[in-house]
Structure 1
Amino acid sequence: MTVAQIRRASDVRVIGLISLAHGSSHFFHLVLPPMFPWLKNEFALSYAELGLLMSIFFVVSCIVQAASGFLVDRIGARPVLFAGVALLSLAGLTYSQSTGYSMLILGAVIAGLGNGVFHPVDYTLINHKISPPNLPYAYSMHGVTGYLGWAAAPAFMVGIAQLSDWRMAFLSAAALEALILLILWLNKSQLIDDVKERHAQSHADEQAINPGGAPASAFAFLKLPAVWLCWIFFFFSMASTSSLQSFAPSGLFKVYQIPIDVGSYFITLLALGSAGGVLFGGYLAAKLKAPERIVSSCLSVTVVMCLLLATGMVSAEIIPFIFFALGFGYGVVAPSRDLLVKLATPKGVSGRVYGIVYSGIDLGAAVGPFIFGFFMDAGLPKALFIGIAIFQIMIIPTVFKVSSNTVSKAV
């Protein structure tokens, strides 16, 4: 084998391992919501209480995401990755043994601790282990496996719960995560990153940006309006997505009398549509080079679809296609969204910008289900789809404002 072939083979192995880990983190985003009907009956919980579990999960993840980046820089990505996967497995075990709401809260906290490490770990390994020609493929696979993790969770959890019970579903999720940890451990030599080398490269980049001068404030980038516009984009985007994932099955049951277990499979269709959409969206973003037009056009279509669902007049046979199309639209938006973040990121502060912007994802995922849980408890399931449409409408102005801001200057 030539050096290039050896390097490509190594890249494929690393991409595969990172993508497997990333998919497992997204899988754990959705192990809890499909079990809401079972947990509601078992512990006599309200929808607001169930939504609060997801809020706790994502708030903890938001905090850990910012902190774990410093830990990755200090001790390396591999041990942090192993800890994150192990915590997810422990969370599944905790859920399975729950005897009340307090143990479910504990499981959500543990799951949030594990989930928060993945973006800092994944992007550190990708940026330092993958050769430049293969980076686009790495980012693509990383994104797609996240959607596939979302797609797998509802079918996995509901299927096992129907065959056995909800405790066995959570226990199986814990066992699956333990198996993934074993695979990563057996291939640990592929996941070593040189911390000293990264520190040296970071210092060299800083000197290249500001040779011989005093270093800029570490927080100067927070003054850029485009950074906060991107944060708003991510916040409302994930608030709408997580709310749909959490309560769509229950909402469809109340509005259209679609069985909840069938509605859970629609969430799988949503995720599969997203996986296909992100592949097409990457091609579209490269060809059109107009991210604001792509985002606004796709979101306009998804808004109309959500409003149609809210009417209660859509044929039940069409709803699966609507969910797949919704997912496809969300997926097409993703590459253009990431391009907008890149355009809004000054040279030399990308890590800090991504940390702030991605925290919007976790906080949006925490707030959305909590808000809509009250609407569901109030017997207003149509408000779920209307609210999601409103959240998406609020995103559209931000993409044009980001594009119109001059953000290319260094901080």
Structure 2
Amino acid sequence: MTTTTSTPSTSPPDNFRQDARTIGLIGLAHGSSHFFHMLLPPLFPFLIAEFGFSYSQLGLLVSVFFVVSGVGQMLSGFIVDRVGARPVLFFALSCFIAAGLVAGTASGYASLILASLLAGMGNAPFHPVDFTILNKRVSAKRLGHGFAVHGISGNLGWATAPVFMAGIATATGSWRTACLSGAALAFVILMIMVINRDSLDDRKGSWSNQPAAAKGGAAAVQEHPMAFLKLPSVWLCFSFFFWSTCSLSAIQSFASPALHKLYGTPVSVTALVVTGYMLCGAVGMVIGGFLVARVQRLEKTISLCLLAAAAMLALVGTGVLPGMAALVVTSLAGMGIGIAGPSRDMLIKRAAPPGATGRVYGTVYSGLDLGFCVSAPVFGALLDANMVPGIFFGSAAALALGVVSAGFVGAGVAARTVRPAAA
């Protein structure tokens, strides 16, 4: 019988309150990152009215955000692994405060570019930070629920930002007040994180990963920091995020006008499709959080859920449904993607080598930023060319390609698990 040396910080008793606090704080932080995705887009009509910008100029602001975020996300994973996740989280929230202040006092286009750059810098570290803290602070049996809350909070951040920003701008008659209010919101969240900083300390409570790290031994410590880039599973996870984000971008940006053109449903009604899609996704994530602890081959859950969602989107693309039914089916597709979410995040955890959590999550999640950058112009061109069904067929095809990537990742993780046992 082997004995394991432990300390109170590495093998504490089960602590529901500690897990819940950490999960809640990370959920709040992650929601703020998705909120700041939408700092400026809800204000585009106000910016056009004041400055006379074109939509292409405003679109460049979004591109700046995601390019900075994507590059920064890959780099921030290394920083998180070196200095810890908590100080990087504080830096990210400080960037959001600065972005809101710069946007609120902007005198022209250059100032808004700077605000987008700062917001992108703030967004970049969140996935390496969040998943490092969750993996190290939350006990194994609640980790799936932590991943579910993380995903739900992102959806809620997306859903809240347009109401918050456009609502304040409309109520006060000033888009600048909305931006400054966004900065104030980020400041409040930063203060909450600082007050509860002990629950975010990833140097403590890493008992859930301790056995795996111990198995790696000295070889894992001596491995080159870039060695993880040689793992096929890392790039397969990256491609999975790229394809799944392409699908999300198509629905998030173009499902409403596409449903209007394809089915003749009023825009005032089709505008609800993104809200429905996100809410169904949130419900799915709750379900997915329970499934993670009960399913060994996570890629099977991912594949079944994403293929079901792809089939629903393809059905909508055929144009055979009644208008309201098409809206409902599109929304329900979000549930399949939501159920797959926690399994996806756990699969990445299993694929990551010991000690490289931040780097792996930073790299694979940069596929999300690339997906947003690349897919929006492609799907927008389909809509401009009046190839309306292509929005739904393309989104479904992207999900199918994501299933292929997830299948290869799961097979690799399973092979790596079986091989030591066989030996």
**What is the CA–CA distance in structure 2 between the aligned matches of 1:66 and 1:91, rounded to whole Å?**
21
**What is the CA–CA distance in structure 2 between the aligned matches of 1:166 and 1:177, rounded to whole Å?**
19
The reply to whether residue 143 of structure 1 matches residue 166 of structure 2 is: no
Match of 1:277 among 284, 287, 300: 284
**Cα 1:326–1:153 shift into 2, 3 Å:** farther
The reply to whether residue 365 of structure 1 matches residue 359 of structure 2 is: no
Partner in structure 2 of residue 12 of structure 1: 20
**What is the CA–CA distance in structure 2 between the aligned matches of 1:296 and 1:223, rounded to whole Å?**
25
| Residue-by-residue CA offset, 1:273-330 (whole Å, 9 max, x unaligned) | 1111012123334445443333233223322333344445643433442343122111
Deviation at 1:116, TM superposition (A): 1.0
Partner in structure 1 of residue 79 of structure 2: 71
Task: List aligned pairs for 1:81-160, cutoff 5 A.
Answer: 81-98=89-106, 101-132=109-140, 134-160=142-168
Deviation at 1:229, TM superposition (A): 1.8
Deviation at 1:7, TM superposition (A): 4.7
* Identity between Structure 1 and Structure 2 (%): 42
Greater mean deviation of Cα atoms: 390-399 or 217-226: 217-226
Partner in structure 2 of residue 22 of structure 1: 30
Match of 1:395 among 402, 406, 410: 402
Q: How many residues align?
A: 403
Whichever residue aligns with residue 359 of structure 1, its letter is S
CA contact 1:84–1:115 (8 Å) conserved in 2? yes
| Residue-by-residue CA offset, 1:35-54 (whole Å, 9 max, x unaligned) | 556656764524x5554433
**What is the CA–CA distance in structure 1 between the aligned matches of 2:273 and 2:361, rounded to whole Å?**
31
CA contact 2:76–2:362 (8 Å) conserved in 1? no
**What is the CA–CA distance in structure 1 between the aligned matches of 2:254 and 2:234, rounded to whole Å?**
30
Match of 1:321 among 322, 325, 328: 328
Whichever residue aligns with residue 240 of structure 1, its letter is S
Match of 1:45 among 54, 63, 68: 54
Whichever residue aligns with residue 360 of structure 1, its letter is G
| Residue-by-residue CA offset, 1:110-140 (whole Å, 9 max, x unaligned) | 1110011212222333344445554444333
**What is the CA–CA distance in structure 2 between the aligned matches of 1:214 and 1:11, rounded to whole Å?**
28
**What is the CA–CA distance in structure 1 between the aligned matches of 2:174 and 2:312, rounded to whole Å?**
32
TM (norm. structure 1) is 0.81
CA contact 1:49–1:373 (8 Å) conserved in 2? no
The reply to whether residue 184 of structure 1 matches residue 193 of structure 2 is: yes
Greater mean deviation of Cα atoms: 355-364 or 233-242: 355-364
Partner in structure 1 of residue 227 of structure 2: 220
**What is the CA–CA distance in structure 1 between the aligned matches of 2:160 and 2:261, rounded to whole Å?**
24
Greater mean deviation of Cα atoms: 381-390 or 248-257: 248-257
**Cα 1:161–1:242 shift into 2, 3 Å:** farther
3-state SS of paired residue (2:222): coil
| Residue-by-residue CA offset, 1:211-231 (whole Å, 9 max, x unaligned) | 479934433333333332221
**Cα 1:93–1:231 shift into 2, 3 Å:** same
3-state SS of paired residue (2:376): helix
Task: List aligned pairs for 1:199-348, cutoff 5 A.
Answer: 208-211=215-218, 215-255=222-262, 263-311=270-318, 314-347=321-354
**Cα 1:165–1:341 shift into 2, 3 Å:** same
3-state SS of paired residue (2:352): coil
Whichever residue aligns with residue 186 of structure 2, its letter is E
CA contact 2:250–2:375 (8 Å) conserved in 1? yes
Partner in structure 1 of residue 182 of structure 2: 173
CA contact 2:148–2:288 (8 Å) conserved in 1? no
**What is the CA–CA distance in structure 2 between the aligned matches of 1:203 and 1:338, rounded to whole Å?**
19
**What is the CA–CA distance in structure 1 between the aligned matches of 2:379 and 2:330, rounded to whole Å?**
19
TM (norm. structure 2) is 0.79
Deviation at 1:237, TM superposition (A): 0.6
**What is the CA–CA distance in structure 1 between the aligned matches of 2:28 and 2:59, rounded to whole Å?**
27
Ranges in structure 1 where 5+ consecutive residues have no aligned partner:
none
**What is the CA–CA distance in structure 2 between the aligned matches of 1:374 and 1:112, rounded to whole Å?**
25
Greater mean deviation of Cα atoms: 348-357 or 391-400: 348-357
| Residue-by-residue CA offset, 1:14-60 (whole Å, 9 max, x unaligned) | 332222111111222234444556656764524x5554433322221
**Cα 1:204–1:399 shift into 2, 3 Å:** closer
**Cα 1:247–1:166 shift into 2, 3 Å:** farther
3-state SS of paired residue (1:318): helix
CA contact 1:280–1:332 (8 Å) conserved in 2? yes
Whichever residue aligns with residue 113 of structure 1, its letter is M
3-state SS of paired residue (1:178): helix
**What is the CA–CA distance in structure 1 between the aligned matches of 2:268 and 2:185, rounded to whole Å?**
22
**What is the CA–CA distance in structure 2 between the aligned matches of 1:89 and 1:259, rounded to whole Å?**
38
**What is the CA–CA distance in structure 2 between the aligned matches of 1:265 and 1:171, rounded to whole Å?**
28
**Cα 1:315–1:22 shift into 2, 3 Å:** same
CA contact 1:226–1:407 (8 Å) conserved in 2? no
CA contact 1:96–1:166 (8 Å) conserved in 2? no
